[in-house]
Structure 1
Amino acid sequence: MSLRLATFNVENLMNRFDFSGFRNQLNQDRTLALFDIKTEAEYRVLEQARAIAHSDDTRQLTALAIAATRADIICMQEVDNVEALKAFEYGYLFKMVGQGYRQKYTTAGNDSRGIDVALMMRDETAHGQPIEFVRMTSHAHVTFEQFGLHTPELAALGQEPHERIFRRDCLEIDLKIGGAPLTLYLVHFKSMGSPRNGLDGRAATMPVRIAEAQAVRRIIEERFGKDHAADKHWAICGDMNDYRQRTLIDGDAHTGYRFDVVDESQSCLNVLLAGGFCENVVERRPELDRWTLYHTRGPQERHLCQLDYILLSKGLAAQNASSVPDIIRSGQPFRTPFPPGQEVDRFPRAGWDRPKASDHCPVAVTFDII
């Protein structure tokens, strides 16, 4: 029986307003920065109007991207709560796919902004096999000390042994697909952030993501047994905020873009992929065609990279050696430079920078569960 599984960071699917930008300019939307706003009351009114106007186009594009995955199950990141998910599914996605993702699951994690991992799934696969929810287990409470993962590098970042490992959660969801067991691990690792202590944001926050990856692997090994875990039916899905390769971009639209693939010596992904524990099936695509995000801080710092992953257990990957994932890029804004041959028709109303479906692209793969 086959299942189509997807993951997508939907970028701030919120059902509340963020007024912190009045006191913290780093959180202020650039539109409001154009205006001289005298009072917090005035700011709140304008922020509500801006957010509502901006959200409608954005969520239409988000829904189009999800519909394009044709997924039976979609793992999501940056979801405010289940009520936000229900409102989005009913108000936007339903208009495109009809009665589809009736089952929705999430739980409050550790993120300071309240953005969590979540899951939506159909009652049955496209081939008519029932999808049954069995149980859901949060691991948001696990500390560095509990798992013996506290290191001097973490201490240097101000992380204490008693603090929680996961920036959001590692949400473990047990399912049955046509009666066959499948376990999903939904994650959203620590973001890279800004440069600090003489290091770029990625290097400075790497110890946290490595600890998160180590914790995920330990949870799986303890669940299935260290000697047998790789052969069981499970997948790790989510935004890991890290990459093993990136494609550096040079040039411009007038002179032409140049793309150069660079391997990274260190990545938290290596913890999970070591020893063939699982496989990043996106690496079955050509090197230039694995990216799920365009990063830029201006013309001097631009690259494409994979931040969004479906890692299949060694057993599942071996059983589906010919399965190649799809990456849905039609929701990207027009500022994103595409390598030659990868250009797509953008969804209606996609803008130069925004609106867009998300800053990330959904990843989807079809595989058999034997």
Structure 2
Amino acid sequence: MRLAVYNVENLFDRAKAMNLESWDEGRPVLERFAALNALLGQISYSATDKTRMAALIVELGMEKSDTGPFVLLRRNRGGLLKRPQAGGVEIVADGRADWVGSLELRDEPINEHAMRNTARVMVDLKADVLGVVEAESRPVLSAFNQEILPAVGGQPFRHVMLIDGNDERGIDVGLMSRAGYPIGPMRSHVDDLTPAGVPVFSRDCPEFELTTPGGARLVVMVNHFKSKGFGSQASSNARRRAQAERVAAIYEGLVASGAEHVAVMGDLNDTPGSAPLQPLVAGTSLKDISAHPSFDDGGFPGTYGASSAGNKIDYILLSPALFAKVRSGGIFRKGMWPGVRPKKWEAYAELKRPEDAASDHAALWVDIDL
């Protein structure tokens, strides 16, 4: 069987703030969005909270309208704010119970060439089981599977599953599998909490149990750890470490219950030697497929951007019994922008500009005798 994982960076629509030319442009928007959302969700609003909320609303371009360039404020009922004729914003609600609505990031369609190149990657991987990172929802993933894969000559996957996670931007993790690899019992960890009462996982760490055509049981956990993109380095590192510790504990629990064939895969947003990932990559019996003698990295150790060693952030980690059955593995980069002077790797002919790239991430695959 072939097991693969791919960070698709959304399929049809993506938050406009995440589509800007540089991360330095989008990061302040996402930071302000997160800060305002956290304040709006509080049970009661202090005077300081109200002042800060009003300032953030203005900074997000919503001084005159609930629709900003990157963010949309939906107000269904109740009173949250007023906009005085003199300008500015005044928060009139005293807490979350005083109004009904939500704060949302505005989306825009993905470049059509990028969308089709994403589908080409999914088809050319020839995976029996594919972990997908950054899909908007199960209906979106299912529609992409049924409509776009055939449009580039592919066969849709038989099974598609995604459990909504904790990220409000619509970047969840899911699983697709071929006929003969049915998805059985599933377990979500969206409600796992840290000692401080904060959700551990930025998205989720779903456990998918599959059965192979030969009757073997395989448990796959798909992950997308906290990025380094916004928030302080210390808080981001602490969040990733907590996620690594929790995944390690879940894995150990599966092993203790008798599970032999376990795979942990996804975008862990850090390098193998980083302190945050050590509880998972060094503190368990899981083995990185890149350490297998047959693994081919195509001459570049990384999986993101320029694919340098510092950009190795995507993983397939296997339990010892599964690792022992590995035949081969590698990194698939044809959907990534290869550069121009010179091109670093072979890319699709349809990939003529960086904007046409399927994703900034490469896909990983491994062939296993199971």
- Report the TM-score when normalising by structure 2: 0.70
Measured at CA, do residues 13 and 286 of structure 1 come closer, stay the same or move farther in structure 2, by a change above 3 Å?
Answer: closer
> Is residue 334–residue 352 contact of structure 1 (8 Å, CA) maintained in 2?
no
Whole-Å separation in 2 of the counterparts to 1:303 and 1:9:
18
Whole-Å separation in 2 of the counterparts to 1:211 and 1:42:
34
Residue deviations 1:267-316 (CA, integer Å, cap 9, x gap): 433222325611101233478532111269xxxxx875211111010121
Measured at CA, do residues 97 and 279 of structure 1 come closer, stay the same or move farther in structure 2, by a change above 3 Å?
Answer: farther
Whole-Å separation in 1 of the counterparts to 2:305 and 2:129:
25
Among candidates 335, 342, 360, match of residue 339 of structure 2: 335
The letter of the residue matching 2:243 is E
How many equivalent residue pairs?
Answer: 295
Whole-Å separation in 2 of the counterparts to 1:177 and 1:220:
20
> Is residue 290–residue 306 contact of structure 1 (8 Å, CA) maintained in 2?
yes
The letter of the residue matching 2:356 is P
Structure 1 residue 56: Cα displacement: 1.0
Is it true that 1:11 corresponds to 2:42 in the alignment? no
The letter of the residue matching 1:132 is P
SS for the counterpart of 2:122 is helix
Residue in 2 that maps onto 1:177 = 212
> Is residue 283–residue 290 contact of structure 1 (8 Å, CA) maintained in 2?
no
Instruction: List runs of 5+ in structure 2 lacking aligned partners.
Output: 30-63, 71-106
Among candidates 224, 241, 247, match of residue 188 of structure 1: 224
Q: What pairs up with 1:1-370 in 2 under 5 angstroms?
A: 3-15=1-13, 18=16, 26=26, 51-52=108-109, 54-123=110-179, 130-145=180-195, 161-178=196-213, 179-194=215-230, 196=232, 201=233, 204-225=235-256, 232-244=260-272, 264=273, 266-274=274-282, 277-284=285-292, 285=295, 289-294=300-305, 305-320=311-326, 323-335=327-339, 343-369=344-370
SS for the counterpart of 1:11 is coil
Whole-Å separation in 2 of the counterparts to 1:75 and 1:39:
40
Whole-Å separation in 2 of the counterparts to 1:336 and 1:269:
33
Residue deviations 1:67-101 (CA, integer Å, cap 9, x gap): 12110111001011011112212222123344330
RMSD: 3.5
- How much identity, in percent, do the aligned residues show? 29
Larger radius of gyration: 2
Residue in 2 that maps onto 1:149 = none
Whole-Å separation in 2 of the counterparts to 1:25 and 1:193:
11
SS for the counterpart of 1:354 is helix
- Report the TM-score when normalising by structure 1: 0.70
> Is residue 292–residue 304 contact of structure 1 (8 Å, CA) maintained in 2?
no
Whole-Å separation in 2 of the counterparts to 1:134 and 1:42:
43
Instruction: List runs of 5+ in structure 1 lacking aligned partners.
Output: 29-37, 45-49, 124-129, 146-160, 245-263, 297-301
Residue in 1 that maps onto 2:93 = none
> Is residue 248–residue 284 contact of structure 2 (8 Å, CA) maintained in 1?
no
Measured at CA, do residues 162 and 14 of structure 1 come closer, stay the same or move farther in structure 2, by a change above 3 Å?
Answer: farther
The letter of the residue matching 2:166 is N
The letter of the residue matching 1:192 is K
Residue deviations 1:7-30 (CA, integer Å, cap 9, x gap): 0000022447658999x96378xx
Residue deviations 1:87-128 (CA, integer Å, cap 9, x gap): 2122221233443302100011111312100111111xxxxx
Whole-Å separation in 2 of the counterparts to 1:65 and 1:19:
25
Whole-Å separation in 2 of the counterparts to 1:41 and 1:219:
42
